[in-house]
Amino acid sequence: MPIAEAFKRWEEGGLGSGELSELIHRFHQGPARDLYLRYNTNHLEAAVAYAIVTGVLGREAVPAEVLDHVAGMIQFYEGEQARS
Each domain of the chain, given as residue ranges in start order, spans 1-40, 42-84
Which carries the bigger pLDDT value, residue 11 or residue 2?
Answer: 11
- How many residues would you count in the chain? 84
Give pTM, 2 decimals.
0.61
At 30, phi and psi to the nearest 5? -110, -100
Convert the pLDDT of each residue in 25-71 to its tens digit. Answer: 999 998 889 888 888 888 899 999 999 999 999 999 999 999 999 99
All residues at 6 or more sequence positions from 40 whose CB lies less than 8 Å from its CB, including other chains: none
Q: At 72, is the pLDDT very low, low, confident or very high (cuts 50, 70, 90)?
A: very high
